[in-house]
């Protein structure tokens, strides 16, 4: 665990730092938010930031999100009012710790951050089998390809493997290849020199260097552009990288993990993913089963999320009626554990008389991803086969395949409130394919929903 303390904490830095050190954390301290960001940009990563409440926590959280730096933020303050503490939480802090620091409080925060990122809650033998394989390979330096549907816990598994490895005391760095535009991903991975491109006002250390001697996770690796796949392959083979704008190779020593929710072999056959890179990553394949194949885990996870969100919302832990539990066990869980978590969060808020009843279990859809259309063209073909029928009051006869495809994509995006990743998962296509389609529609003058856009769109006929 790496802890970065921001600010003076009213003279309690030494005390807080010593408590964290005694709990096994590596502690550094800076005086300002900007210094903290420079430290993180420079490759000195952290899993936890403890920030003096005198600093602008909202600006810090916004900067972390903009620069795609994933780290837990905890606010600290002395003689702080409840309103200030609430404002810090609202600004994005995970917790508020009063000063002077209590050893048990600091220990609990460190333990919570570690547990949240590495622990699995399971009862089903199917999941136990996956954990056993993870334990067997964790101690090696072999690359592991973690596959499974969206929401099954692939990143949690990656962190679990790191925590059980001989590199556990070193950095764990994660990069979501689907969330970063292609033109920025190269710089994100390999870093860049000052002046390498417009906007490169200073040297920046990439994720490979940040993860040196530790573990690097490439999340949703199949969304990486083939051009960048070639550079990644060289980095894996040679164990060295080149920053963008530099001709000086840099040696790196990392353990590489990767995840994907797509059929990797199919992606190789289609030419979307390099075969040689696939074999480099797939030394060990660890497939996480979907929740619908882990029936014994549903009750355990539901109970965990009920307790978690009851505490987070300051309400008593509600009970669960037998009818509500039956409803959970019968659902197909298209979104897997992530969908179950959201469902139980809502259920806690909607529980009446201290009990979660079926009325509080708001489920959407019943098909699993394996039952969904695998790509847009398949869905369009189905629409053509149903020519003469109506969908949302729109006649399909007389329309082109491109028109039906466009409306299907944009309607799905509208349904997802502009969330590109969610829409791509529902459509069964890659995020890159979706972005290319949306770019085309924009260039053709059609209205494309923005993230958070919930307004009904106009007709595209």
- pLDDT tens digits along 332-378: 898 899 899 889 999 998 998 899 999 899 886 544 443 343 445 54
Q: How far apart are alpha carbons 453 and 440 in whole angstroms?
A: 19
Alpha carbon of residue 459 to chain centroid? 34
Q: Kindly list the structural domains of the chain, giving each domain's residue range(s) and its CATH number in brackets, ordered by start.
A: 2-118 (3.40.50.2300), 125-287 (3.40.50.300), 292-360 (1.10.8.60), 376-443 (1.10.10.60)
Buried/exposed code over 2-26 (b: 16+ C-beta within 10 A; e: otherwise): bbbbbbebeebbeebbebbeebebe
pLDDT given at position 395: 58
Q: How far apart are alpha carbons 427 and 454 in whole angstroms?
A: 19
What are φ and ψ of residue 131, in 5° steps? -65, -35
pLDDT given at position 38: 84
Range from 57-61, 174-178, 240-244, 453-457 carrying the lowest mean pLDDT = 453-457
| H or E segment to which residue 250 belongs | strand 250-251
Are 358 and 324 in contact by the 8 Å Cβ rule? The answer is: yes
Confidence band (pLDDT; 50, 70, 90) for 456?
A: very low
Q: How far apart are alpha carbons 415 and 413 in whole angstroms?
A: 5
Alpha carbon of residue 84 to chain centroid? 29
pLDDT given at position 115: 63
Token pair, residue 29, equals 């301290």
Average pLDDT of the segment spanning 143-170: 91
Are 285 and 142 in contact by the 8 Å Cβ rule? The answer is: no
More confident residue, 201 or 331: 331
Listed ranges 46-50, 200-204, 257-261, 433-437; the one with the highest mean pLDDT: 257-261
pLDDT given at position 280: 94
- Distance between terminal CA atoms of the chain? 55
Q: How far apart are alpha carbons 323 and 367 in whole angstroms?
A: 21
What is the overall mean pLDDT for the chain?
82
- pLDDT tens digits along 23-62: 667 788 888 888 888 887 766 677 788 888 888 888 898 8
Residue indicated by tokens 């897997």? 336
Q: How far apart are alpha carbons 298 and 325 in whole angstroms?
A: 9
Confidence band (pLDDT; 50, 70, 90) for 80?
A: low
pLDDT of 237 > 50? The answer is: yes
- Cβ neighbourhood burial of 65 (10 Å; 0-12, 13-18, 19+): exposed
Are 311 and 345 in contact by the 8 Å Cβ rule? The answer is: no
- Say how many CA atoms lie within 13 Å of 300 toward its Cβ: 11
pLDDT given at position 383: 45
* pLDDT-above-70 percentage for the chain: 86
- pLDDT tens digits along 404-429: 888 889 888 887 777 787 788 777 78
pLDDT given at position 371: 38
pLDDT given at position 17: 76
Please choose, from the candidates 300, 288, 290, the residue with its C-alpha nearest in 3D space to the C-alpha of residue 333. 290
- pLDDT tens digits along 104-150: 777 777 777 666 655 678 889 999 999 999 999 999 999 999 999 98
- Say how many CA atoms lie within 13 Å of 448 toward its Cβ: 18
- pLDDT tens digits along 249-281: 999 999 999 999 988 999 999 998 999 999 999
| H or E segment to which residue 6 belongs | strand 2-6
Alpha carbon of residue 319 to chain centroid? 30
Range from 210-219, 382-391, 409-418 carrying the lowest mean pLDDT = 382-391
pLDDT given at position 366: 46
Average pLDDT of the segment spanning 215-244: 91
Residue indicated by tokens 């890159």? 432
What are φ and ψ of residue 5, in 5° steps? -95, 130
More confident residue, 84 or 44: 84
pLDDT given at position 357: 93
- pLDDT tens digits along 275-299: 999 999 999 999 999 999 998 999 9
Token pair, residue 436, equals 């290319």
CB-based contacts of 225, cutoff 8 Å, min separation 6: 182, 185, 432
Buried/exposed code over 256-266 (b: 16+ C-beta within 10 A; e: otherwise): bbbbbbbebee
- For CA atoms 176, 182, 184, 187, the dihedral sign is positive
pLDDT given at position 461: 34
Are 72 and 115 in contact by the 8 Å Cβ rule? The answer is: no
pLDDT given at position 202: 77
pLDDT of 450 > 70? The answer is: yes
pLDDT given at position 116: 60
pLDDT given at position 235: 92
* pLDDT-above-90 percentage for the chain: 30
pLDDT given at position 43: 62
């Amino acid at each position: 665990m790496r802890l970065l303390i921001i600010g003076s904490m009213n003279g309690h830095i030494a005390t807080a730092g010593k408590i964290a050190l005694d709990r096994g954390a590596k502690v550094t301290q800076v005086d300002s938010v900007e210094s903290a960001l420079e430290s993180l940009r420079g490759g000195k990563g952290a899993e936890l930031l403890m920030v003096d409440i005198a600093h602008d926590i909202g600006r810090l959280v916004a900067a972390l999100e903009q620069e795609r730096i994933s780290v837990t933020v905890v606010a600290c303050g002395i003689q702080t009012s409840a309103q200030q503490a609430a404002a810090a939480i609202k600004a994005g802090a995970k917790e508020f710790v009063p000063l002077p620091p209590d050893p048990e409080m600091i220990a609990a925060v460190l333990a919570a951050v570690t547990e949240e990122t590495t622990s699995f809650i399971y009862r089903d033998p199917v999941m136990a089998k996956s954990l056993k394989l993870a334990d067997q390979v964790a101690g090696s330096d072999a690359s592991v390809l973690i596959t499974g549907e969206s929401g099954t816990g692939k990143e949690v598994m990656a962190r679990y493997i790191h925590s059980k490895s001989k590199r556990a005391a070193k950095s764990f760095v994660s990069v979501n290849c689907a969330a970063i535009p292609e033109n920025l991903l190269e710089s994100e991975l390999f870093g860049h020199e000052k002046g390498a491109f417009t906007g490169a006002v200073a040297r920046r250390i990439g994720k490979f260097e940040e993860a040196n001697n530790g573990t690097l996770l490439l999340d949703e690796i199949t969304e990486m552009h083939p051009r960048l796949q070639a550079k990644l392959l060289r980095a894996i083979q040679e164990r060295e990288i080149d920053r963008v704008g530099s001709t000086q190779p840099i040696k790196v020593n990392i353990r590489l993990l990767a995840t994907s929710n797509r059929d990797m072999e199919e992606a190789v056959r289609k030419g979307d993913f390099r075969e040689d890179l696939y074999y480099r990553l797939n030394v060990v394949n660890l497939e996480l089963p979907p929740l619908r194949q882990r029936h014994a885990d549903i009750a355990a996870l539901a109970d965990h999320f009920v307790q978690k969100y009851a505490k987070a919302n300051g309400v008593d832990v509600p009970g669960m009626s037998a009818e509500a539990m039956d409803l959970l066990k019968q659902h197909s869980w298209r979104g897997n554990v992530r969908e179950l978590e959201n469902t139980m969060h809502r259920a806690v808020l909607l529980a009446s008389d201290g009990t979660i009843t079926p009325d509080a279990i708001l489920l959407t859809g019943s098909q699993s991803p394996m039952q969904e259309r695998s790509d847009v063209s398949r869905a369009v073909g189905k629409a053509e086969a149903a020519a003469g029928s109506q969908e949302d009051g729109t006649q399909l006869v007389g329309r082109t395949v491109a028109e039906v495809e466009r409306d299907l994509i944009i309607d799905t995006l509208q349904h997802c409130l502009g969330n590109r990743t969610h829409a791509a998962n529902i459509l069964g296509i890659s995020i890159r394919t979706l972005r290319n389609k949306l770019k085309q529609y924009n260039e053709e003058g059609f209205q494309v929903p923005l993230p958070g856009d919930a307004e009904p769109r106009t007709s595209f006929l």
